[in-house]
């Protein structure tokens, strides 16, 4: 075997490995999408938050433990909104979270909406390209 033939074989093997990884990733993530839950917050959110924060965080930590909630937090300067990132097969997971959230139930959240987020780049992308 020559050095060129070994290099060609290595390139071919690497190319095959990349294709296999891409196919495995697509199969693994089939049906799973990212969803963003947007909260609009009441003007007195910061003043009222302490009363409900523990229950809200318990709900969030339970969603994390189930692998549904990835990241969450309030927007800053001004604190007029919050964003929660979910990974699930449908938007129902995010909707159920909002419907059970003490912040929503007690008026700290004035409105909420869920949007599907098509993620294509990064280790956690659901539809990698």
55 and 105, same structural domain?
A: yes
37 and 24, same structural domain?
A: no
The answer to the question of residue 125 being in a domain is no
The domain of 43 spans 32-117
The answer to the question of residue 127 being in a domain is no
Number of domains in the chain: 2
Angle ∠(77,60,82) on CA atoms, nearest 5: 20
Burial class (CB in 10 A: 0-12, 13-18, 19+), 55: middle
23-70 residue pLDDT tens: 545 444 568 999 999 999 999 999 999 999 999 999 999 999 999 999
The answer to the question of residue 82 being in a domain is yes
87 and 77, same structural domain?
A: yes
User: For residue 116, what pLDDT band results from cuts at 50, 70 and 90?
Assistant: very high
90-106 residue pLDDT tens: 999 999 999 999 999 99
What's the CA gap between 14 and 59, in Å, rounded?
Answer: 44
């Amino acid at each position: 075997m020559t050095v060129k033939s070994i290099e060609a074989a290595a390139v071919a093997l690497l190319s095959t490995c990349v294709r296999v990884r891409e196919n495995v990733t697509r199969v693994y993530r089939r049906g799973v999408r990212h969803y963003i839950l947007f909260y609009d917050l009441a003007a007195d959110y910061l003043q009222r938050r302490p009363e409900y924060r523990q229950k809200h965080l318990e709900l969030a930590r339970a969603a994390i433990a189930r692998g549904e909630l990835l990241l969450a937090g309030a927007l800053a300067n001004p604190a007029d909104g919050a964003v929660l990132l979910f990974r699930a097969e449908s938007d129902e997971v995010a909707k159920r979270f909002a419907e059970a959230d003490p912040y929503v139930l007690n008026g700290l959240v004035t409105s909420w909406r869920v949007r599907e987020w098509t993620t294509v780049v990064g280790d956690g992308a659901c539809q990698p390209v």
